Amino acid sequence: RTHARTHARTHARTHARTHARTHARTHARTHARTHARTHARTHARTHARTHARTHARTHARTHARTHARTHARTHARTHARTHARTLGART
């Protein structure tokens, strides 16, 4: 009985170490989503800069097509007077 009790504690420690890795993996999977959200918020600005540089050209084309008409009107109104002066000077 005494030997059994002594060996029980030793075995418990060994089993704890063995099961620790398995539990760590399970816990990691569970906590992964929560950590992902936190990590995303932390590095959102940094990633935004990198992502912006990567897709800048592609986005520029899409954005230009979308707001082309609206921008044309605004641009025309802004530089109407300047253009009138230039045109008048040539004439």
Threshold 0.75, pTM exceeds: no
Q: Quick check: helix, strand or coil at residue 55?
A: coil
Find the helix or strand (DSSP H, E) in which 90 lies: helix 80-90
Residue 71 confidence (pLDDT)? 74
d(CA 13, CA 76): 79
CA dist 46 → 2, 27, 68, 69 (Å): 61, 28, 30, 33
Residue 82 confidence (pLDDT)? 74
Residue 10 confidence (pLDDT)? 84
CA dist 13 → 1, 27, 43, 49, 59 (Å): 19, 20, 40, 49, 58
Q: How confident is the model at residue 77 (pLDDT cuts 50, 70, 90)?
A: confident
d(CA 55, CA 62): 11
Q: For 64-80, what is the mean pLDDT?
A: 76
Per-residue pLDDT tens for 29-41? 888 877 787 777 7
Q: For 43-69, what is the mean pLDDT?
A: 77
